[in-house]
Amino acid sequence: MKRFAIVGHLATTSAAFSLNDLPGSGGRMDVLCRCVNSSFFLSHDLRRDAECYLILCGEPGPEKTVLFRGSEVRYLSPDERSSAALIKKALAIPCGDEFRESTPGVYIRRGGLSRLLAEFPFAVLDEGGEDIRTAGELPENYLLSDHHNLTAEEESLVGGYRSYSVGPRSLHADHTITVLLNEMDRREA
């Protein structure tokens, strides 16, 4: 299983955001929607061996985590508004301590990064990391940040984790996932 976790520092935890204004009312929810797209979509197919964890750290709080499972997800189209609508539906249901399914293959629970890191080992995707092309065996699980860098507190949580870079330029999180999956596809081919 490949897992991508993306920290949405401003991403709203309320279903009240507007699908017509994902960057503003959603707290840059558009960034997370594009990461869902990158994690799953192939031409006329979905990556069934992937999961995408969206860590929503914005207002009104407390933190929530939305999980998309490629093996189960339905009603997901590639456009940002499609994944945003599924996130909005997840935010609209009562949110408990365990993952609860809102629509097929989409789940939500309370809690954020520290809880997720306690469950799976993650590598960090970061400009300063080891080049994925020349690295040995690649890990399965990767943590990315949205348009903001990880906070000092988040950095301390992932201190000592392996870090990987996808190339010489600093890319958006969704582009980073795309380049990484291409490397994984090549190794699996």
Chain contacts with a copy of itself (rule: CB under 8 A)? 19-20, 22-23, 30-31, 34, 37-38, 41-45, 77-82, 147, 166-172, 175, 178-179, 182, 185-186, 188-189
Smallest gap from Cβ 182 to a copy of itself, in A, equals: 5
Question: Do β-strands 2-8 and 141-145 pair in parallel, antiparallel, or remain unpaired?
Answer: parallel
Give the list of residues 6+ apart from residue 169 with CB closer than 8 angstroms, or none: none
Q: What are the beta bridge partners of residue 73?
A: none
Nearer to a copy of itself, 44 or 137 (CB): 44
Smaller CB separation from a copy of itself, 119 or 127:
127
Q: Closer to a copy of itself at the Cβ: 42 or 92?
A: 42
What 3-state class would DSSP assign to 80?
helix
Question: Closer CB to a copy of itself, residue 45 or residue 97?
Answer: 45
CB of 98 to a copy of itself, least distance (A): 32
| Minimum CB distance to a copy of itself, residue 14 (Å) | 19
> Please, what is the Cα angle at 87 between 7 and 74, to 5 degrees?
115
Rounded to an integer, what distance in angstroms lies between the CA atom of residue 28 and that of residue 147? 8
Closest contact distance (angstroms) between CB of 24 and a copy of itself is 10
In the complex, the smallest distance separating the C-beta of residue 20 from a copy of itself, rounded to whole angstroms, is 6
CA distance to 36, 65, 80, 170, 184, per residue, from 84 (Å): 10, 14, 6, 25, 27
Distance from C-alpha of 53 to C-alpha of 133, rounded to nearest angstrom: 24
Shortest separation between residue 1's beta carbon and a copy of itself, angstroms: 17
Q: Which is nearer to a copy of itself, 31 or 116 (CB)?
A: 31
Q: Please tell me the number of Cα atoms within 13 Å of 168 on its side-chain side.
A: 0
Nearer to a copy of itself, 117 or 184 (CB): 184
Distance, in Å, from the CA atom of 93 to the CA atom of 176, rounded to the nearest integer, reads 31
